[in-house]
Structure 1
Amino acid sequence: MLRLIALMVTIALGDSLNPSTIAPALYVASGERARLSVVEFTVAVFVVHLAAGVALALGPGRLLLSLVNQLGPTIRDLLEIAAGAAMVLAAGLLWRHRRRLSEKDLPDPNPQRKSSLLLGATIIAAELPTAFPYFAAIAAVVASGQTTAGQLLALAVYNIGFVLPLIGIIATVLLARDDAKERLARGREFVQRRWPTVLASVLLVFGLLVAIVGVGGLL
């Protein structure tokens, strides 16, 4: 179980540096009643993302589990290697196109509080079809053979890691108070200029770690 939790944390931290969620959260945090709005946004992202993972793991995942049991225990290690390779590939693509990506404007949503819940749910629902690191994590959870409670715990840990940057924004709004908007503005500027490079570096490191864990299991 500890190995599975470590894998969830590793993939989630790389997946969490997502401008599609961080940039809107920064905007929401600068709107009216910023503290409540950014909390609502974060809760919506967490709940929808977790619910989708649970649905996949306990629905189609059961069918995958029966296939995994037939193929043998090494399938988990192969899935970890595949997940690591996918993260390394994504890192390479981000690095190659980093200049063009950094020149694109980040999302500019309506920061009004009344839309923050719907905004978070809509953004994460739209992101799910291309959430390949999450799919790899779900596959690893299903292949782990853990009980339903263990799988739910692993998915919850993943999603806590996924929203850590949003929790950091909440902490900034709560603790910085007077200069919160200035700090958030600097954060948005950094995300705008550097997110492809930072995300590529993180995905590369975590992807290699995940792949090494998988290779170690095969040896």
Structure 2
Amino acid sequence: MAELLLVLTPIALLDSTSIVPLCIVVLIVLLGGPSPLFRSAALLAGVFLTYLACGLLVMFGLQSVFEAINDYAIKVWQAPNTAELMFQILVGVLLVMFGLRMTKTPEKQDEKTAPASMTASQALFTGAGMTIVGLPGAVPYLAAIDLVLRSDLATAQTVMVLFAYNIVFISPLVVIVAVSLLFGERSRPLLDLIRGFFDRWGQRVIVGLMLAFGVILVIDGVGWFFGMPLIPV
């Protein structure tokens, strides 16, 4: 189990990039208000419990569905038909279009989404809501669950591994909370720097990834028709 956790740790850290940009502004505002530990802990609890519940649902309630999706994905990856290739190209074009549209949309940070008066219960539900919003980017989570299922662990061990994965998943946010509480006002320049980074580069990174992924899908899909796929199988 220790070797499995060693493999899952970098996957969980990669996966955390789907939630950090969503939570960072809310978290920093909560840390600057009253009861910072209690309210920020509620936000992180909302993220942790929701993601853990989703993982358990997939692992135990939807395992057969997950295996069917996995088998289909392997088939499509190795020998896609014309309809699947056309769909891939369409998805790629849409990603490029959405990415280009986002470049023309001014970035706005709405402070009202994280008022200083937010209660702990509101922070809890905000964390849960942000986690649900970020679920489309949870591909690493599905890959991690697949690895766990293939390890043939006992039920209790499976739950423990998924629990540990989610601890690592929220660890970047936990570090931000710890730094704020340990250094108090001295941490504000660092928190402002982190917030400024996501304010300035968060959308640009997302747009860049969308454009790159969209172009790859289009080129790969067209390449299949000529026997020269971009992504080797």
| TM bucket, shorter chain | 0.5 to 0.7
1:39 matched to which residue of 2? 41
Which amino acid in 2 is paired with 1:158?
A: Y
In the alignment, structure 1 segments of 5+ residues that lack a partner are: 79-92, 202-219
In the other structure, the counterpart of 2:11 is 11
Instruction: Sort the Cα spacing of 1:132 and 1:102 in 2 relative to 1 into closer, same or farther, 3 A.
Output: farther
Measure the CA separation in 1 of the matches of 2:109 and 2:149: 35
- Cα deviation, residue 32, structure 1: 2.8
Q: 1:137 to 1:58 in 2, by over 3 A?
A: same
Checking the alignment, whether the CA contact within 8 Å between 2:107 and 2:203 is kept in structure 1 is no
1:106, distance to aligned residue in structure 2 (A): 4.8
The answer to whether the 8 Å contact 1:40/1:116 transfers is yes
CA offsets, 1:178-202, max 9 Å, x none? 233333222100222344788999x
Residue 116 (structure 1) aligned to one of 123, 130, 151? 123
1:105 corresponds to = 108
Partner of 1:53: 55
1:192 matches 2:194: no
Percent identity of equivalent pairs? 28
Relative distance call for 1:53 and 1:165 in structure 2 (3 A) is: same
Corresponding residue for 1:212?
Answer: none
Q: Which amino acid aligns with 2:13?
A: L
Report the count of equivalent residues. Answer: 182
Instruction: State whether residues 44 and 120 of structure 1, in contact with CA within 8 Å, keep that contact through their aligned partners in structure 2.
Output: yes
Structure-1-length-normalised TM-score: 0.67
Larger Rg: 2
| Paired AA for residue 104 in structure 1 | E
Contact 1:8 1:155 in 2 (8 A): no
Matched AA of 1:137? A
**Structure 2 gaps, min length 5:** 75-94, 210-233
Cα deviations across residues 60-82 of structure 1 (Å, max 9, x unaligned)? 12x26887xxx9xxx9xx8xxxx
Q: For the aligned residues, what is the CA RMSD?
A: 3.7
User: Aligned runs of 1:125-204 on 2, under 5 Å?
Assistant: 125-195=132-202
Deviation of 1:55 after TM superposition, in Å, equals: 1.6
Verify the 8 A CA contact 2:58 2:66 in the aligned structure 1. no
Sort the Cα spacing of 1:197 and 1:7 in 2 relative to 1 into closer, same or farther, 3 A: farther
Distance 1:127 1:107, change over 3 A: farther
Q: Is the 8 A contact 1:33 1:113 kept in 2?
A: no
- TM-score normalised by structure 2 residue count: 0.63
Shift of 1:175: 0.7
**C-alpha distance 118-27 of structure 1, shift in aligned 2 (>3 A):** same
CA–CA distance in structure 2, aligned partners of residues 53 and 11 of structure 1 = 14
